[in-house]
């Protein structure tokens, strides 16, 4: 064999060896990728267990947190595809839970020992402060109270200004986007608090049931009327079981 042919044969062997080596590297890389994918899939499956447990328990905030972490850490897994299809519903339910907790926290409840028994009260401030006399906007408070001697009552309390209701008046009450309802009200002749009672407290309490917002338009001594809006959706109706 000539020297030229020998060189060509050697080059061919080298190229073949290089090709074979490349094939082996490709195979090793594919095997490594498959192994890594299997590890990720196993880890995602374990993480999905916590997600599924939270969903089964209807702990939507926890399920959302578990799902968000899983999708961030293992986005390319089959498990992530399955969990991803559930996340819109889980996020919506988690938002409902957060909103319910927020509106529930707007209410304050008290039980106070008084002569003759216990006074029970539920209070909430207006969604936005209201300027009733030009001195600046301040919260208006809505109070439901059950007193062993004075009985049941519902009233508004101002921090400044006054109601124009000493001889009795009408207020307009609206639930959510429904039509307003006229209700009788009165301002007691006392300086202990700037309060105005809504006469049918049981009807007002029933209006709160199932409502998101309760709007009350009332007359003020400074002239005209003002409106206070209350986010009442989080009220605990069990606080006054006999009012219905």
62 and 155 part of one domain: no
31 and 48 part of one domain: yes
Domain CATH for 230: 2.60.40
| Per-residue model confidence (pLDDT) at position 10 | 59
129 and 72 part of one domain: no
| Per-residue model confidence (pLDDT) at position 193 | 77
63 and 112 part of one domain: no
Number of domains in the chain: 2
77 and 158 part of one domain: no
50 and 165 part of one domain: no
| Per-residue model confidence (pLDDT) at position 14 | 54
138 and 234 part of one domain: yes
* Structural domain containing residue 138: 107-243
**pLDDT higher at 192 or 233:** 233
Give the pair of three-digit tokens for residue 166: 């000493």
Q: Please state which of the ranges 34-43, 56-65, 122-131, 233-242 shows the lowest mean pLDDT.
A: 34-43
**Which of 102, 123, 152 lies at the terminal end of a domain, its last residue?**
102
Cα-based torsion angle of the residue sequence 25, 28, 29, 30 in order, rounded to the nearest 10 degrees = 120
Neighbour count for residue 74 (Cβ, 10 Å)? 20
**Which of 78, 102, 126 lies at the terminal end of a domain, its last residue?**
102
Q: What's the pLDDT tens digit per position in 83-117?
A: 999 999 999 999 999 999 999 999 999 999 999 99
Q: Directed axis angle between helix 60-73 and helix 78-104, to 10°?
A: 140
Neighbour count for residue 190 (Cβ, 10 Å)? 8
Task: Assess contact for 164 and 219: CB atoms under 8 A.
Answer: yes
Q: Directed axis angle between helix 78-104 and helix 3-56, to 10°?
A: 30
119 and 23 part of one domain: no
Specify whether the backbone of 141 is left (phi greater than 0), alpha (psi in -120 to 50) or beta. Answer: beta
Whole-prediction pTM value?
Answer: 0.78
190 and 71 part of one domain: no
140 and 119 part of one domain: yes
**Which of 102, 122, 152 lies at the terminal end of a domain, its last residue?**
102
Neighbour count for residue 177 (Cβ, 10 Å)? 8
Q: What is the band of 3 on the pLDDT scale with cuts at 50, 70, 90?
A: low
Q: Is the pLDDT reported for residue 76 higher than 90? A: no
Helices and strands in the chain: count of H runs, count of E runs: 4, 9
91 and 127 part of one domain: no
| Per-residue model confidence (pLDDT) at position 238 | 86
97 and 112 part of one domain: no
Give the pair of three-digit tokens for residue 54: 């939270």
Q: CA-based angle 166:169:172, to the nearest 5?
A: 140
Cα-based torsion angle of the residue sequence 69, 70, 73, 79 in order, rounded to the nearest 10 degrees = -170
CA 20 to chain CA centroid, nearest Å: 62
| Per-residue model confidence (pLDDT) at position 91 | 97
Output DSSP code: residue 178.
S
Give the pair of three-digit tokens for residue 5: 């042919």
């Amino acid at each position: 064999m000539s020297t030229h042919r020998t060189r060509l044969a050697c080059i061919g062997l080298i190229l073949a060896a290089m090709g074979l080596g490349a094939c082996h590297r490709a195979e090793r890389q594919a095997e490594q990728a498959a192994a890594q994918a299997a590890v990720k899939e196993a880890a995602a499956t374990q993480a999905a267990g916590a997600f599924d447990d939270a969903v089964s328990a209807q702990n939507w905030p926890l399920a959302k947190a578990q799902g968000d972490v899983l999708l961030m850490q293992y986005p390319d897994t089959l498990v992530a595809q399955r969990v991803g299809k559930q996340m819109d519903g889980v996020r919506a339910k988690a938002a409902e839970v957060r909103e319910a907790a927020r509106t529930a926290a707007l209410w304050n409840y008290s039980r106070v020992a008084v002569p003759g028994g216990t006074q029970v009260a539920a209070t909430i401030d207006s969604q936005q402060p209201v300027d009733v006399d030009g001195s600046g906007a301040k919260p208006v408070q809505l109070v439901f109270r059950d007193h062993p001697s004075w009985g049941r009552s519902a009233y508004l309390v101002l921090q400044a200004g006054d109601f124009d209701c000493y001889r009795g008046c009408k207020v307009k009450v609206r639930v959510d986007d429904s039509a307003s309802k006229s209700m009788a009200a009165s301002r007691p002749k006392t300086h202990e608090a700037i309060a105005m009672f809504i006469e049918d407290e049981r009807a007002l309490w029933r209006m709160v049931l199932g409502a998101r917002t309760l709007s009350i338009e009332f007359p003020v001594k400074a002239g005209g009327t003002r409106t206070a809006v209350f986010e009442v959706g989080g009220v605990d109706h069990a606080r006054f079981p006999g009012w219905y």
